[in-house]
Structure 1
Amino acid sequence: MALAHVLDPAVTPDLRDGILDLWADVTRAGGAVGFVPPVTREEIRPELVRHLVAMAEGRNRLLVGFDQEGGVAACAFVGLNTHRLMTHWVWLYTVMVHPRFQGMGHGRALLAAAEDAARGFDGVEAIRLTCRGGLGLERFYRSCGYQEVGRIPGAIRVAPGDDRDDVIMLLPLSRHPPP
C-alpha cells in the first residue's frame, strides 16, 4: 500500500492532531525526532506550533504521507533557507513515518517525495538534514543518496551520560536526476 504524499496540505484541526499523534507515536517507538520517551502530545504541541508558524511565514513547507483512510502516516517539514547566501539549499526537518508503516519502503518514498518537491523550488540545488547518531539513521539516509558531510560528537544529549553525535547529511540534487 502506497501513501499519498501531499505538499502543503490545508492545515486543519484533523491534520494538526494527526501530526501530533504521529510525532508522539514515533517518539514513543524510539524515533529520533527531537524528543525522548515518554512524551505526550502536549509536550510536543509547542514545537509543532513553531513549525506551523514558520509555514505561515513562508519559511517552512509541509509534506504529508496519507494512508488509504486519509490518516497522517508520515510527514516531513522542508525549511526554506532565508539566509541570502544559502538559498540554494533547503533543510529537511522532523522526518517521520508511523511505526506501523515502517519497514515497508515508506521512509524511502517520503524522502523521494521531498526530493521531488525540492526540485520544484526555484534555485534549490541540495537538501540538508541532521540526524541523531547511534541509531543507524546515517546508513538509511546514505542508502537514499545522502552523504555525510559533517559530524558533531556528543552534540545531542538524550539523557545524562547518553550523548549522541549530530550527523549532517546532504543530498546534492544535481547528482540525482529525476526519473
Structure 2
Amino acid sequence: MTTVRLGADQLRERAAELADLLADTVNAGASVGFLAPFAREHALDWWRGRADAVAAGQLAVWAALDGTGRAVGTVGLAFPEKPNSRHRAELVKLMVHRQARGQGLGRGLLAVAEEAAAAHGITLLHLDTETDSPAEHLYRAAGWTRAGVIPDYALDPYGTLRPTTLYFKRLAAPAR
C-alpha cells in the first residue's frame, strides 16, 4: 500500500473512488457522520465539497492506495482557524474499505496523520468516535487517551442514538 497526501485537484480527481470508500464505510456500519443506506452520489457530493477546505489549508487528506492505485483508505486532519487553537488539529474520517481491513491499514493511516501533524507543528490531536466501536481499540492501541463519553451524541448509520467517546493525543514538538 502507498499513502499519498491529496491536494485539492487530486481530491477532485479521486472523488469517485473516495465516494465508493465512504459509501462502503457507512453501509458497513461505521459511524462517520452519515446514515445508511448511503448513496454513492451523496458521498461524491460530500467529497467534492471538501476540495475548497483542502485548497485553503483547513483540511489535509491522505489516501491509501492499493496495488492498482485505487483509494482503499483515507484519513484527514482538520485545522482550526482561531489563533488560540493553531497548536491542535482534529483527526477526521479515518476509513478503510471492507476489502482492505485487517491488514494494518488503519494503523498506518493513523501514523501518517500523526507524523504529518507533528511536522506541521501540531502538538495536540483530538477525535471523537462511536463508543464501543472497533475504532476505539485502534486508538487505544496507538496511545490515544480517552477523555470521556458523551451520551446520545449522534445517530449510528442505522438511526440509533449512540454515545461518543472523545480521545486526544499529545505529540512531541518538532525540533527547531
TM-score w.r.t. the length of structure 1 is 0.87
Q: CA deviation at 1:13?
A: 4.9
Question: Structure 2: how far apart are the matches of 1:74 and 1:157?
Answer: 23
Mapped contact 1:134–1:164 kept (Cα < 8 A): no
Structure 2 partner of 1:151: 149
Structure 2 counterpart of 1:29? 28
Structure 2: unaligned runs, 5 residues or longer: none
* Preserved CA contact (<8 Å) 2:73 2:96: yes
Contact persistence 1:74–1:97 (CA under 8 A): yes
2:11–2:48 Cα contact (<8 Å) kept: no
| In 1, Cα distance between equivalents of 2:133 and 2:116 | 27
Q: How many Å separate the matches in 1 of 2:27 and 2:127? A: 22
Task: Give TM-score scaled by structure 2 length.
Answer: 0.89
- List structure 1 segments (4+ residues) > 3 angstroms apart after TM superposition: none
Q: Indicate the larger mover: 68-77 or 4-13.
A: 4-13
- The corresponding residue for 1:38 is 37
Question: 1:12, CA displacement in angstroms?
Answer: 5.6
CA distance in 2, matches of 1:5, 1:139: 22
Deviations 1:133-166 (A, max 9, x none): 2324222211111111132111112355x21112
Unaligned 5+ runs, structure 1: none
Q: How does 1:39-118 map to 2 (within 5 A)?
A: 39-118=38-117
In the comparison of the two structures, how many residue pairs are matched? 172
The structure, 1 or 2, with the larger RCO (C-alpha pairs under 8 Å, 6+ apart) is 2
Distance 1:34 1:138 in 2: 16
Show the counterpart of 1:4.
Answer: 2
Name the SS of the counterpart of 1:11 in structure 2. Answer: helix
Counterpart residue type for residue 74 of structure 2: C
Two-structure CA RMSD over aligned residues (Å): 2.0
* Aligned-partner Cα distance in 2 for 1:157–1:31: 11
Pick from 137, 162, 176 the counterpart of residue 164 of structure 1. 162
Q: 1:133 to 1:64 in 2, by over 3 A?
A: same
Structure 1 position 36, deviation (Å): 2.8
Task: Among all aligned residue pairs of Structure 1 and Structure 2, give the percentage whose two residues are the same amino acid.
Answer: 27
Contact conserved, 2:78 with 2:91, CA < 8 A, in 1? yes
Q: Secondary structure at the match of 2:69?
A: coil
